[in-house]
Copies of this chain bind each other. A is one copy, B any other.
Amino acid sequence: MLNVKTPDEALEIIRTSFVPLDRPPENVTLSSALGRVLALDVTADAYVPDFHRSTVDGYAVRAADTFGCSDALPAQLILSGEVRMGEGAGLTLAPGQCAAVPTGGEVPQGADAVQMLELCEDYGDGTIGILKSVAPGHNMIFRGDDVKPGDRVLPAGRRLEPQDIGALAALGMTSVPVVPRLRVGVISTGDELVPPEQIPAIGQVRDVNGPLVCALLEQAGVLPRFYGIVPDQEDCLTRTMEQGLTECDAVILSGGSSVGEKDAAYRVMSALGKILFHGIAMKPGKPTLLGRTGSGKAMVGLPGHPVAALFCTHLFVRAILARLEGRSLRQRQVTARLVEEVSANHGRSQYNGAILRQGSQGLEALPIRGKSGLITALAGADGYFCIPRDCEGFPAGTQVLVNIFIAD
């Protein structure tokens, strides 16, 4: 008997059954850190910037000296010097004085605002006319406006994006502590499978799930290791699973998980650890199997049908990997208007691929038709949406929540 869970129950089991693997952080250079998962909180230990900066080319002033000035009645200030890029200002403004300052240059002591060049006039006699008043703080960034010592800039568990790399550079963090990449074994099983490079005979099909699951894992930022196509027999599967669990942090077996005379995957995983669930009330994807070893590694049995394997990897395997990495998973979801009716009546959550396009009234989702084994139907898909188990389908015009296929 399948111990069938709903997709939400399956995610909750994943959340409570797996914990971050206990591994020391690895230090990588800033230029290798993109996409890696931060192992520790990043906290600033200095002010950024470490001095008051101008955001325009202009004149640093004491704001009070400009109050009430205008085109007709400029404030006339004594030019006390010029600040150069990359150097300290080296001067202090007294009342009635100003200093030329470039964009990004230091605003001298005594000054509390900058007026832009276009609103000033150089009289050529050592004085500058300010044509419009400025409020204190205008056109400048104060010391520590970006970060102050002790500010937490990035939290542990975050996957580093380009703007985070920029923030780390600003902090001078050129060696970044990251979570070691997970290694994940992939096994394909099924007596009908031949490697993609082989021409299938009648009754045979090419192994799609091996390359597909490895690509999904690569996109998820982990290191896939493919163990090849293994005969759907308990002893062969056990040997390969054991090797995979020794060498990797998780092993994904696709095929061999349906309930029939060939449910070797269930028996193999039962012997190697604890089964957490067998079967999810979803279509496609019902015969999904999850187990955990004594050391906290994950064993996943994916359906043999490629589209089912794709949805289940996106929904569940990514959630498992995030738990093992100590990372919070961000689902990227968009709301879109379904442009065609989709029916459902299985008593199971139905997942349907979709192409997103910008319509005249916002984002539209075009459902992809096709049977669950047909992977080429999903080439070009942007994501998928779910029709709940208690629903007989969605009419055209329904606003659906589309999970988009991207790395996270």
- Interface check A172, CB cutoff 8 A: yes
Number of copies: 2
B375/A205 in contact, CB under 8 A: no
Residues facing B in A293-315 (CB within 8 A) are: 304, 306, 310
Please tell me the size bucket of the interface on A: 35 or more
**Interface-forming stretch among A6-14, A48-56, A236-244?**
A48-56
**Interface-forming stretch among A127-135, A156-164, A270-278, A339-347?**
A156-164
Chain B residues in 8 Å Cβ range of A173: 196
Q: Contacts A141-B373, A163-B375, A211-B165 known; A203 to B105 CB distance under 8 Å?
A: yes
- Interface check A16, CB cutoff 8 A: no
Q: Contacts A212-B166, A376-B153 known; A55 to B202 CB distance under 8 Å?
A: no
- Interface check A335, CB cutoff 8 A: yes
- Interface check A289, CB cutoff 8 A: no
Bound complex: CA of A373 vs CA of B216, how far in Å? 36
* A170 and chain B: residue at smallest CB distance: B208
Bound complex: CA of A31 vs CA of B197, how far in Å? 12
Q: Contacts A170-B375, A379-B167 known; A203 to B145 CB distance under 8 Å?
A: no
B34/A200 in contact, CB under 8 A: no
- Interface check A371, CB cutoff 8 A: yes
* CB contact between A162 and one of B87, B200, B219, B362 (< 8 Å): that residue: B219
Chain B residues in 8 Å Cβ range of A53: 205, 373
Bound complex: CA of A332 vs CA of B355, how far in Å? 12
Bound complex: CA of A171 vs CA of B198, how far in Å? 10
* A50 and chain B: residue at smallest CB distance: B200
Chain B residues in 8 Å Cβ range of A197: 172, 174
Measured CB to CB, the closest approach of chain B to A408, in angstroms, equals 9
Measured CB to CB, the closest approach of chain B to A146, in angstroms, equals 4
* CB contact between A371 and one of B141, B171, B219, B374 (< 8 Å): that residue: B141
Centre residue among A167, A262, A379 by max chain B CB count within 10 A: A379
Q: List 13 A-B contacts (CB under 8 A).
A: A55-B371, A86-B192, A88-B201, A105-B203, A145-B371, A154-B380, A161-B405, A166-B310, A166-B375, A167-B376, A169-B211, A172-B198, A172-B206
